[in-house]
Amino acid sequence: SQTIHQWPATLVQPVGSPLSLECTVEGTSNPNLYWYRQAAGRGLQLLFYSVGIGQISSEVPQNLSASRPQDRQFILSSKKLLLSDSGFYLCAWRKFSGDFSRPTNEAFFGQGTRLTVV
Amino acid sequence: ELKVEQNPLFLSMQEGKNYTIYCNYSTTSDRLYWYRQDPGKSLESLFVLLSNGAVKQEGRLMASLDTKARLSTLHITAAVHDLSATYFCAVEGESGYALNFGKGTSLLVTP
């Protein structure tokens, strides 16, 4: 079965410090990978998604960046955190259909990282 | 710009009552997804609706999709406290890869 791991679960970082959040998926290959952010009491904002190694699509201009160094690894980074970067960060994966058509399955989410920038 | 609008955003209802949550979207997508989020937790998939007229039911929840109207509904029957959570709908963007969420409906079921 497929599982998704995301860490750390909670993080408190000072303004201006760097950030690295990691997400890995097990039990599947060539997944589509996603980073979302949920601000307190608000909906989910899609930050980045990736359809393959080294392929990153950015949905919202930020001081954040994403990388996919391996097939099942997705990393969210920042060089200098802002107060507004605080939130609940969620990694998700979707199964790739295998025939280059659109994925047909729902997204499965990791447990999330609660980031507080102070 | 793709829009996914849910209403209501907040809903307080008594146990045993029925209610419907609405999800309107602006794309031509024929797929729609419903998720549940408990406080402080991640998202859990509830329903996957893959075509016009699709209807799925699980316990006291039933979801339907009308792609012509670009509308999905999540109907709650005889609500119980355990259904208290935030419910999100999501649709694919034009590329088919990005999954875009509504703002969520926070449901509170009271005795």
**Per-residue model confidence as pLDDT tens digits over B22-44:** 999 998 888 899 999 999 999 99
Cα–Cα distance, A26 to B50 (Å, whole number): 26
Confidence at residue B11, expressed as pLDDT on a 0 to 100 scale: 94
Cα–Cα distance, B20 to B64 (Å, whole number): 11
Q: How far is A25 from chain B (nearest CA, A)?
A: 16
DSSP string, A10-59: EEEE-TT--EEEEEEEES-SS-EEEEEEE-TTS-EEEEEEEEETTEEEES
Confidence at residue A61, expressed as pLDDT on a 0 to 100 scale: 66
Contact B99 A94 (CB under 8 A): yes
Cα–Cα distance, A53 to A67 (Å, whole number): 8
Q: Nearest-CA residue of chain A relative to B41?
A: A111
Confidence at residue A20, expressed as pLDDT on a 0 to 100 scale: 96
Q: What are phi and psi of A85, to 5 degrees?
A: -80, -10
Q: Per-residue pLDDT tens for A20-33?
A: 999 999 998 889 99
Q: Mind listing the pLDDT tens digit of every residue in chain B (111 residues)?
A: 889 999 999 999 999 999 999 999 998 888 899 999 999 999 999 999 988 999 999 999 999 999 999 999 999 999 999 999 999 999 988 777 888 999 999 999 998
Tokens 């926070």, located at residue: B106
Give A43's contacts in chain B (Cβ within 8 Å): 88, 101-104
Give B92's contacts in chain A (Cβ within 8 Å): 102
Beta strands in B2-68 (DSSP E): 4-7, 10-14, 19-25, 32-37, 43-49, 55-58, 61-66
**A48 has pLDDT over 60:** yes
Q: Are the C-beta atoms of residues A40 and A114 closer than 8 Å to each other? A: no
Confidence at residue A28, expressed as pLDDT on a 0 to 100 scale: 87
**A65 has pLDDT over 80:** yes
Residues belonging to chain B with any Cβ–Cβ distance to chain A shorter than 8 Å: 31, 33, 41-45, 48, 50, 88, 90, 92, 96-104
Beta-carbon contacts of residue A61 (< 8 Å; ≥ 6 apart): none
Tokens, residue B29: 């997508």
Q: How many CB pairs under 8 A join A and B?
A: 53
**B18 Rama class: left (phi>0) / alpha (psi -120 to 50) / beta:** beta
Q: Per-residue pLDDT tens for A70-117?
A: 999 999 999 999 999 999 999 999 987 654 555 667 899 999 999 999
Contact B98 A43 (CB under 8 A): no
Q: How far is A102 from chain B (nearest CA, A)?
A: 6
Confidence at residue A102, expressed as pLDDT on a 0 to 100 scale: 56
Q: Are the C-beta atoms of residues A17 and A82 closer than 8 Å to each other? A: no
